[in-house]
Amino acid sequence: MIFYSILVGIGLLCLFLARRNHADLKTHFLQKQTSSNIPALEAINLASLHKMKLWKKILRALMPAIEMLGQRSGLKITGFIVVMIAVGVYTNDILLKIHTLWLPMLFPIIGCLWAWTWLLKKRRQEFEQNFPDALNIMMSAITAGESIMQSISYVGRTLNNKVGHEFKDMGERLKLGEPPEQVFNRACRHYPYPAFLFFVVTIRANMSRGGQLKSVMARLIRVLVDSRTLEKKKDALTSEARLSAKIVGALPFIFMVIMYYMNPANLEFVFTDPKGRIILYYVVGSEAIGMSIIWLLIRRVK
């Protein structure tokens, strides 16, 4: 009971963090800005020499995934944790009949890690899908004679997605007079991807020294489109291997579930006897190792 109370408390804490009221943009701008809030453009970043607290590192790593959940993210996280606890309890007490605490604890941890990685992957895929469109719109605005600040705001008004919202936020902050370095550094923390970092470096260099921004953005768009095409081609070439690996990996568990409901006596030795559980652990371990090897091989495909 104490264990479940702790997990409920963690879920309520996630709900509190997700529902925290953020300051308004104008209120944030009108607040007194100290020199420490604006990062100095020095050869050595002195702030990086200070050790960040552990909870700040964890919160910074979790915030991109929490933002992907949208509204009521805390409620969704709490519901997901409760479902994973229920699955762990059912597997532990009814299916495997182990009657231990480590399995109900392991299910929420593994489920949260899987959900975190899946949300980060989905976030990057959405960025790679929408960022070239944002660059195309921005280049069209620049070609029509708009300034960099106006073209960024135009992208924010045109695109109705997370990338467009980021451009809209950058445009509003630039209009309010916030330093461009601070605006772009905040945007880079939201999207720490090479394409976006290169875009920010190009914009900052053009704002400070000028240059052929249109030609550089055209090359960046072409590289991003080619990269997206190559990624789709790689997915198409490896789709058969990935599907076959998933089917082969799922077959033992599918047959175990079928046999459990058709004739539970056949699996009673595996689930209840200590020596039979060694077979179960071997099956789960070998499946995990095999799927990990296949995943690493597919990731190495260029």
Summarize pLDDT for 39-57 with one digit per residue, the tens. 444 334 444 445 667 777 7
- Which residues span the domain enclosing 233? 229-299
Q: What is the predicted pLDDT for the residue at 218?
A: 81
Distance CA 199, CA 14 (A): 33
Last residue of a domain, one of 204, 227, 250: 227
Distance CA 104, CA 110 (A): 10
Q: What percent of the chain has pLDDT over 90?
A: 1
Q: Is residue 30 part of a domain?
A: no
Residues 182 and 236 occupy one common structural domain: no
Q: What is the predicted pLDDT for the residue at 31?
A: 44
Q: What is the predicted pLDDT for the residue at 287?
A: 82
* CATH value at residue 222: 1.20.81
Q: What is the predicted pLDDT for the residue at 19?
A: 53
Domain count, the chain: 3
Q: What is the predicted pLDDT for the residue at 52?
A: 64
Count of CB atoms situated within 10 Å of the CB of 299: 8
The two tokens of residue 156 are: 């924010």
Place of tokens 């291997």: 241
Q: What is the predicted pLDDT for the residue at 21?
A: 42
Residues 116 and 131 occupy one common structural domain: no
Residues of the chain falling short of pLDDT 70 = 1-52, 210-211, 301-302
CB 45 within 8 A of CB 52: no
What are the DSSP E strand ranges found in the chain? none
Q: Is residue 36 part of a domain?
A: no
Last residue of a domain, one of 124, 140, 167: 124
Half-sphere exposure of residue 129, counting CA atoms within 13 Å on the CB side?
9
Residues 62 and 89 occupy one common structural domain: yes
CB 217 within 8 A of CB 152: no
CA dist list (Å): 136 to 46, 151, 197, 230 = 37, 11, 17, 19
